[in-house]
Amino acid sequence: MDKVQLLAGARSALPIIMGYLPLGFAYGVLARSIGLTVLETVAMSVIVYAGSSQFIAVGLLAAQASPLTIIFTTFLVNLRHLLMSASLVPYLRGVSQPLLALIAYELTDESFAVATTYYQEHQASPYFQLGLNFTAQVAWVTSSLVGATVGNLIEEPARYGLDFALPAMFVALLVMQLKNKGAWLVAAVGGGLAAVIGASVPGNWHIMIATVVAATLGVVSEKWIPKS
């Protein structure tokens, strides 16, 4: 095991941790407000470990939705992970299946963004990914536990701006990757397309469609847009 790469991954998780602390806390507060126990709230962060899906699941539970509805909705929201996992394959060739399964289990939007940015300037390493993923999940689980523990003492967490933690973190991670004209083009097209489709198409398909179109544009544009 490469301890140097593990530590490098853990250090690179700092921007994720700064976003996860308030966001996980808000999730914990919200989960407790609908009647989940501390154990149930934390178990979801350990087993599911998908911020947007956990918030959606909590909202659907509050609305007394059926289990099938909750499962199907969160499945659609998390379809983007198929694309993220596929794009990491070239960086992790030769890695054993058990190790790949562990990396895939802890992969999130944020760890994916940090990893792909890091791999542009450094050699890819499964142990860097493990250090990054594990540190991020520890922060998420810990903040969820704190939020669940004091959840009954806080009402309407949105009043404190905790609900803005998720979009703020995504904006920060996006800015880290805007290093050339191609990246700016992909970001602009992806964001604009997602906004337009999201306003006219129900559900979360706008995320998948915008991602596929923007990613395709990014591959094609490499031939005629300089990287500098």
* Domain residue ranges in the chain: 3-166, 178-228
Rounded alpha-carbon distances, angstroms, from residue 151 to 114, 147, 163, 189: 30, 5, 15, 39
pLDDT band at 42 (very low <50, low <70, confident <90, very high): very high
Shortest CA distance to 20 belongs to which of 140, 110, 111, 164?
140
For the stretch 75-118, pLDDT in tens is: 877 877 888 888 888 888 888 888 888 998 999 988 998 998 89
Give me the residue label for tokens 């989960």: 31
**Contacts of 30 by beta carbon, 8 Å cutoff, 6+ apart:** 55, 58, 147, 151, 157
Residues 76, 204: contact at Cβ < 8 Å?
yes
pLDDT tens digits along 131-167: 999 999 999 999 999 999 987 676 665 566 655 655 6
